[in-house]
Amino acid sequence: MMRKKRNDRNYILYRIESPETGDAYIGLTVAVGRAFLRSVKVRVQKHLSRAKTENKDWTFCNFLRDNPEVTLRYEVIEVVRGRKPAYQRERELIAALVPSLNTF
């Protein structure tokens, strides 16, 4: 028997900011257990790794490649239950806050 796909996971909306430049990025990742900040840290590491190894022409990747020594601060904005509500909330936050490093 097939297992029903879960749709009640926690998703973390996070913000990454460069204190030097004031540039910011808003993103979304799946929560690993209750370790919300740690989940964001792992996601930030993935952003850094992808910027170095993949040739994506995304604003955030270009910023990371152009500023390899930049300091990044990250924070949990909120935790949302369920995939659809999380993606909807991410779009709302990006529209409201207009972060400079999100690709529109």
For 44-92, what is each residue's pLDDT tens digit?
A: 999 999 999 999 999 999 999 999 999 999 999 999 999 999 999 999 9
pLDDT at 2: 76
Nearest to 66 by CA among 104, 101, 103, 29: 101
Mean pLDDT of the chain: 93
Contact residues for 86 (Cβ-Cβ < 8 A; gap 6+)? 11, 13, 28, 80
- List phi, psi (to 5°) of 103: -85, 125
Which position has the higher pLDDT, 73 or 33? 73
Q: Is the pLDDT of residue 6 over 70?
A: no
pLDDT at residue 103 greater than cutoff 90: no
Distance CA 52, CA 8 (A): 33
pLDDT of residue 7: 60
Residue 73 β-bridge partners:
17
| Domains (range + CATH), the chain | 10-97 (3.40.1440.10)
pLDDT of residue 104: 76
Distance CA 50, CA 56 (A): 8
Residue 33 DSSP class: T
pLDDT value for 3: 72
For the chain, the first-to-last Cα distance in angstroms comes to: 41
